[in-house]
């Protein structure tokens, strides 16, 4: 019986290995929920060799930030002991919102961005008596996408040559308010996104970027 069980286990492992997603050797695409994982060593990306922070701004996707509405949502979340989360905001809008929330004793919040000292952040708002853990909150509301060897990927012809990443993301239907920082470093792209668009990115980005596999 023990021999039969061992053989059955080995057959299942072989089957799972063969059914795994195809990953080309030239470049790869991976998804993670932790931005300080050992694999990607993003605990402090700004101290590494060379990096470029991509500014996500496009005239077709600029949203007017309704600070009054966000503040109202924060109050409602506090009163109901629930949690509300904003889109990713640029530094100016995030500063304006923080000025408002910091003056409210009835609202608690945490800013998360997936990277240390992020340029784009989102606010997780709740009752101040609900103590949110920074790392857990960050992991819950920020997803890290890592695209390796981006120099081997073929960018779509419709993408702007000087600013391809916003156009690539918009090309697969991703609103930039769901996207945090995009850091290009050592031939890789590290993209912070909201969890609700993670599946869409992992499904469509390999089709948009020829040569990238999941």
* Among 138, 158, 169, 157, CA closest to 57: 169
pLDDT band at 73 (very low <50, low <70, confident <90, very high): very high
Considering Cα of 143, then 88, then 207, then 151, what sign does the dihedral take? negative
3-class DSSP assignment, residue 125: strand
User: Can you tell me the distance from the alpha carbon of 142 to that of 2, in angstroms, rounded to the nearest whole number?
Assistant: 45
List the strands of the sheet with 143-148, edge to edge: 28-32, 143-148, 188-193, 179-185, 51-54
Percent of the chain scored above 90 by pLDDT?
Answer: 47
The three-class DSSP label of residue 10 is helix
The DSSP result for 78-124, as a single string, is: HHHT--EE---B-HHHHHHHHHHHTT-TT-EEEEE-SSSS-SSBEEE
**Strands of 84-85's sheet, edge to edge?**
84-85, 122-126, 108-112
pLDDT score of 62? 46
Q: How much is the pLDDT for 169? A: 92
Q: pLDDT for 83-130, tens place per residue?
A: 999 999 999 999 999 999 999 999 999 999 998 899 999 999 999 999
Write the Ramachandran bin of 31: left for phi over 0, alpha for psi from -120 to 50, otherwise beta.
Answer: beta
pLDDT on residue 148:
76
């Amino acid at each position: 019986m023990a021999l039969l069980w061992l053989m059955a286990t080995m057959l299942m492992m072989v089957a799972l290995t063969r059914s795994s997603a195809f990953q080309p050797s030239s470049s790869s695409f991976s998804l993670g929920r932790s931005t300080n994982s050992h694999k990607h060593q993003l605990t402090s990306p700004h101290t590494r060799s060379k990096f470029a922070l991509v500014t996500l701004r496009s005239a077709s996707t600029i949203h007017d930030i309704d600070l009054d509405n966000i503040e109202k949502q924060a109050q409602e979340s506090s009163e109901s002991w629930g949690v509300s989360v904003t889109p990713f905001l640029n530094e100016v809008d995030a500063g304006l919102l923080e000025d408002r929330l910091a003056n409210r004793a009835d609202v608690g919040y945490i800013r998360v961005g997936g990277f240390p000292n992020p340029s784009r952040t989102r606010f997780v708002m709740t009752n101040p008596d609900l103590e949110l853990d920074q790392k857990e909150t960050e992991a819950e509301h920020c997803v890290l996408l890592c695209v390796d060897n981006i120099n081997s990927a073929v960018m779509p012809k419709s993408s702007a040559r000087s600013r391809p990443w916003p156009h690539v993301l918009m090309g697969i239907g991703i609103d930039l308010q769901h996207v945090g920082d995009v850091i290009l470093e050592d031939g890789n792209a590290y993209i912070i996104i909201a969890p609700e668009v993670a599946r869409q990115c992992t499904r469509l980005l390999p089709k948009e970027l020829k040569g990238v596999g999941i």
